[in-house]
Structure 1
Amino acid sequence: MTPGNRLFTSDEIRPLAERSDLWGAWLVLHCWGVIAAAMALFLVWPNPLTLILAVMIIGSRQLGLAILMHEAAHNALFKSRRLNELAGDWLCGRPILADLPAYRRYHLKHHRHTQTDQDPDLVLSAPFPTTKSSLRRKILRDLTGRTGIKLRAQQLAFAFKTAFDPDIEPDDDGLSQAFAGPSLGKSLIANAVLLAVFTAIGAWWWYPVFWLLPLLTWYQLVVRIRNIAEHGAVERTSDPMRNTRTTLAGPLMRAFVAPYWVNYHLEHHLVMHMPCRNLPRLHDMLMARGAGGRMQIGRSYADVLRLASSRPEQPG
């Protein structure tokens, strides 16, 4: 029984948990369409401003692909399990160097042990709250590509180790699997296809500029913000209303930081098999029943980041 079943009847949850192949296809097409539109923006108006804007938009939609892979990991993106596996892995996960099967094993463990010592995501949330200077350093490392390069190096090192010892588990190697796949073979194929497409249209250099650059920079930042907002500076408790957070987001933040309703994370933990498109409706039901006072709700991502960097600086 999921926590949401104790708050709602099965008849209330059932229609909101209904999967749709049409919706799944639309979300995947929308994500790739926004990426293509960002590239087209630079093609029509090539200048430094549209380049930066394209990198930000593409990086946010690379997170969008990760979110849709997450949906597929819960078999919630499509009604068909086969479509969840194929599209979730090849169209969503592999292009961003993620690995759906490994991510599913890792992520379901996170749901079983949220904010306990057995939670594999605890390493992402435990450092918070931190100091303002520490958070600034993290953001700078993300935007300059240092975080992304370090993570890619970890992936390569792990892939090299498993070539000699296939029984090594990612947790044994200290590799965080939060949207980072330990197996790179299929990811290299997916990225080779992207490079081939760019080359075919006469713009091979778009691959490093409009795919790798966002993946190493803006994507890393929004993944960090997402991690902080979901479980950073929350209570270490088994209560799903207190050990995770929903963050309210306007159109601008949904476009650049929190696509595809990812900000409704508390609701996702209550009913983890519910398609993301229905999480706002579940949120409204909770609020209508007076549950808002029990819930961890961030008024904005800016407020959450202020809370996450509220630890006083050490003197000297």
Structure 2
Amino acid sequence: MPAPTIDPKTIFTPEEWAKLRQRNDWIGLGLVAHAWVVIGLAVALFAWAPNPLTWLIAVMVVGARQLGLAILMHEAAHGGLSTNQKLNDFVGHFLCGAPVGASLHRYRPYHLSHHRNTQQSDDPDLGLAAHFPISKKSYQRKLIRDLTGQTFFKQTLRPLWGFLRAPGQASPEARSAALTFLGAQAAIFVIFAAAGQAFAFFAIWMVAQASWYPAVTRLRNIGEHACATPDPSDPWRLARTTYANPLERLLIAPYWVHFHAEHHLWMYIPCYRLEATHSLLKQKGLTEKMEVKQGYRQILELATAKQAL
């Protein structure tokens, strides 16, 4: 059963809707450049003053920007990086998805199915949120697995090792995923090495990808849909918006990903116009219909409210 929708023309004036839908290549492609510049600055900070604190900051910032690259690949899945479809897909796949082991071409049909069927029985992402709330101890175990690389090993390294041991037996999907990951990591290593930061590729880029990136990805998934939908027939509450402070935007929720309710209401609004969409909805008194939380601490309190047995 398709997810319920709301006609934006019943909410916004034609002028408001035209502005919200407007796409700008300079902004879309500029966000990709921004992600890579922030990664470079984080590595440069550690190179300038190598110590445990700058290493930790670099790992957290780079891990969050790796999530940012995944978010921008998601934006490309909706055609939001460029009005030129070929350029949109090239950047979304090679500069956003591949560096974090993802494929835009495999992700797009899966993700659009999630939008068509959000919180319905055939939503492919339903399993990411259906088991919440959980206990605090359960979440702590998941967080430890994320931060210690166990999630990365299970989701990325184990399938990769299986492919390397028997490439001829791998499915086309497994082969494509392995080659995407290996090719992208090799290219990034060459760039790091050319900048004199070969060590940082392993100590920062790979450590971030194996620790902070899966941890904040899990938190992102929780924030978007977990415990957000008491009624799957209510389009206003199919997803959640979470207010994020500047530190949370830096380390947890880059590129307006926390305005997820607005994205699910009208998925072709570019990510850089979601905050303006929220402001307009607030002016019209409509955010009261939505699921809105005050920061990720509140999200975790909601998602870990189950008492341990």
TM-score of the two chains, using structure 1 as the length reference: 0.90
Pairwise CA distance, 1:194: 1.0
Matched, 1:103 2:98: no
Correspondence 1:86-235 to 2 at 5 A? 86-153=90-157, 155-156=159-160, 163-164=168-169, 166=171, 183-235=177-229
Matched, 1:14 2:8: no
Contact 2:256–2:275 under 8 Å retained in 1: yes
> Which of 223, 239, 242 does residue 247 from structure 1 map onto?
242
Matched, 1:271 2:274: no
Partner of 2:29: 25
Partner of 2:80: 76
Q: Name the CA shift for 1:182/1:140 in 2 (closer, same or farther; >3 Å).
A: farther
Matched, 1:39 2:34: no
Partner of 1:311: 306
State the AA in 2 paired with 1:184. Answer: A
Any stretches of 5+ residues in structure 1 without a counterpart? 171-180
Pairwise CA distance, 1:128: 0.6
Matched, 1:260 2:255: yes
Matched, 1:286 2:274: no
Partner of 1:177: none
Contact 1:234–1:244 under 8 Å retained in 2: yes
Pairwise CA distance, 1:117: 1.7
Contact 1:159–1:182 under 8 Å retained in 2: no
Measure, in 1, the Cα distance between the counterparts of 2:33 and 2:250: 16
The C-alpha deviation readout for 1:98-146, integer Å capped at 9, x for no partner, is 1101111110010011111211111110111111110111111111111
Q: Name the CA shift for 1:21/1:158 in 2 (closer, same or farther; >3 Å).
A: farther
Partner of 1:178: none
1:205 is paired with a residue whose SS is helix
Measure, in 2, the Cα distance between the counterparts of 1:76 and 1:158: 35
Contact 2:239–2:261 under 8 Å retained in 1: yes
> Bigger shift: 12-21 or 123-132?
12-21
Measure, in 2, the Cα distance between the counterparts of 1:10 and 1:108: 26
Measure, in 2, the Cα distance between the counterparts of 1:37 and 1:300: 26
Q: Name the CA shift for 1:163/1:265 in 2 (closer, same or farther; >3 Å).
A: farther
> Which of 6, 28, 51 does residue 3 from structure 1 map onto?
6
Aligned residue-pair number: 303
Pairwise CA distance, 1:9: 4.6
State the AA in 1 paired with 2:177. Answer: S
2:235 is paired with a residue whose SS is coil
Q: Name the CA shift for 1:19/1:140 in 2 (closer, same or farther; >3 Å).
A: same
Alpha carbon RMSD of aligned pairs, Å? Answer: 2.1
Q: Name the CA shift for 1:93/1:167 in 2 (closer, same or farther; >3 Å).
A: closer
Measure, in 1, the Cα distance between the counterparts of 2:123 and 2:97: 22
Q: Name the CA shift for 1:112/1:158 in 2 (closer, same or farther; >3 Å).
A: farther
Measure, in 2, the Cα distance between the counterparts of 1:157 and 1:84: 31
Contact 1:247–1:263 under 8 Å retained in 2: yes
Contact 1:159–1:183 under 8 Å retained in 2: no
State the AA in 1 paired with 2:74. Answer: H
Pairwise CA distance, 1:313: 1.5
Q: Name the CA shift for 1:71/1:7 in 2 (closer, same or farther; >3 Å).
A: same
Partner of 1:176: none
Contact 1:128–1:233 under 8 Å retained in 2: yes
Contact 2:93–2:103 under 8 Å retained in 1: yes
Pairwise CA distance, 1:240: 2.4
State the AA in 1 paired with 2:200. Answer: W
Q: Name the CA shift for 1:151/1:313 in 2 (closer, same or farther; >3 Å).
A: same
2:269 is paired with a residue whose SS is coil
Pairwise CA distance, 1:158: 7.8
The C-alpha deviation readout for 1:58-114, integer Å capped at 9, x for no partner, is 000000101110000000111111111100000001011011011111100100111
> Bigger shift: 15-24 or 216-225?
15-24
> Bigger shift: 158-167 or 116-125?
158-167
